[in-house]
Amino acid sequence: MACSEAQPHLEEIRERGELRVLTRYGPTTYYVKGNELAGLEYELAERFATFLNVRLKIIVPENLGNMLTLIEQGKADIAAAGLTITPARKDLIRFGPVYQEVTEQLVYRNGNPIPQDITALNGQLEVVASSSHVEQLESYKQDIPELEWTENQQLDSSGLLELVQLEMIDYTIADSNEIAANQGLFPELRVAFDISEPRPLAWALPLSEDGSLYNEIVTFFAQLDQSGDLDRLIAKYYGHIRRFDYVDTRAFHHRILTDLPTYQPLFEQAAKQYGFDWRLLAAISYQESHWDPKAVSSTGVKGLMMLTQATAKQMNIDNREDPQQSIPAGAAYLAYIRENLPERIQEPDRTWLALAAYNIGLGHLEDARILTQKNGKNPDLWPDVKQILPLLGKKKWYEQTRYGYARGGEPVRYIENVRRYYDILLHELENSQAEKPALKLPPLITTPPAAL
C-alpha cells in the first residue's frame, strides 16, 4: 500500500486555523503598550495571520537559543523576532524575504573611555547567547585570539543594554534598531563603533522542501511592500526615535521623579474622562510646558497644556495657569479635535493627527491632508501626512491651500517628542511600581480570531 504524501505546511495551518509564531519580548518585536499588544514583529505577524484567514498564536521561548531550536525542529510555523540572516543559520533554517537592515554595534556607557576598535576593549563584554553577535565575535577571534566575552542565556539585548546603563557590565553588542529603541530609556548608552556591515532581518521557517508557507510569505511581503504598508509600519515604530537629545532625556527622567507626582492625579482624572492614556496626556504636557504651570510662550499660550486664550474660552476656563483647569481643558480640546476628524480614520493615526491639529490647527492639518491625497498618499495615515506637513512652509505648496503658510515641520517634531516621552513614561512607571508588578505577558498568548 502506497504512503500518502505529507500535507503541505500551508494547508496544515489553514486546517488547524492557527498560525504559530515564535518571537521575543522587546521594543522592536513584541511588548505591552498601555493595555494593548504592540511591536513591529507582532503587528507583521498579526497581519500575516489575517492574510491567511487564521488565528495568531504567539509563543515566547525562554531564550534565543530555544527559539532557534524550536523553529529548526518545526515546533512552530515562523520565528518573527528580528532575526539576522547569517551563513550558519541558513544551514539550519530557511529565511523569508528581507524586510529591514540593521548594523551590529558595540555599546558602552557615557563617561567611560571610548574604545576605538574591537582590540581596545578594557572590561567585561557580554552578549546574548546564540545571537548573530556571537557569530560575529567568533569571526574576529581568528585574528584576535585574546578577545573574550560572556554569553548570557537569560537576558535579551534590552536587558544587557540596561546592565551597561547600570554599570554592571562594561560593553555589549546590539543591533542598531534595538539601540535606537532603547536609547530614550537608557540615556547614558553610547555607540563606540559598528562591528558589522548592514545585515538583513527576515522571518525564519523550518528547513523543508515544502515551499507552500514560504511562497505565501513572499507574496505577503511583496504586497506589503508594494502598498507602502511596510514602510509605514517601520515608520510607526521607528520614525519618532531617530533623534536623540541626551540633555533633554536626562532632564525628563529627573522630572518624572520630582514634578510628575504633583500632577499625575489630574492627568489620570482627565484621561479617564476623555478617553486617553494618562501617560500620553502627561507626555503632551511635558512637551508643551515641561510641567511648568507658569510657562508662557512668545505667542501668549500659557500653562501646563499651553492653551491659547481662544481655546481657554472655548473650553470655558478662566485661568490657564491653574493645573486643575489647564489639564482637563487640554484633554477636552484634544478630544474635541479627535472627534471632529473623519470617522474612517483609525487609531493610532486618529490620535496622532488630532495631536498635529492641537499643535498647528485643524485648518492647516486639513490642508496637509488634501496635499497628501494630491501626492498619491493616504490622508488618513499619520506616516503619510507627516511627510507632507513640512511642505506648508514652502510657497509652491501653501499657495495651493485654503489656510496658507504654516510651519509644518513643527507638528512633526512635536509628535516625535511626545511619542518619545510617552515611551519613556510607559517604561519608567511600569518598572517603578514595586507594590504592583509591571504588566507582563505569559509565555503563550493567543489573540482573538482575525477575519474569520
Burial 284-297 (b: 16+ CB within 10 A, else e): bbbbbbebbbebee
The C-alpha cell of 358 is what? 492641537
User: Minimal CA–CA distance to 150: which of 178, 128, 179, 119?
Assistant: 128
For residues 90 and 20, give the distance between their C-alpha atoms in angstroms, rounded to a whole number.
21
Whole-angstrom CA distances from 257 to 187, 250, 288, 322 are 16, 11, 18, 21
SS3 content of the chain, % helix, strand, coil (to 5): 50, 15, 40
DSSP secondary structure of 146-201? T---EEESS--HHHHHHHHHTTSSSEEEEEHHHHHHHHTTSTTEEEEEESS--EEE
Q: Nearest 5°: CA angle at 187, between 232 and 119? A: 100
- Cβ–Cβ < 8 Å for 81, 205: no
Residue 79 in 3-state DSSP? Answer: strand
Whole-angstrom CA distances from 332 to 153, 245, 361 are 48, 30, 15
List, by residue number, the catalytic residues. 288
- Cβ–Cβ < 8 Å for 208, 9: yes
Q: What is the DSSP letter of 26?
A: B
The DSSP H or E segment spanning 102 is strand 100-102
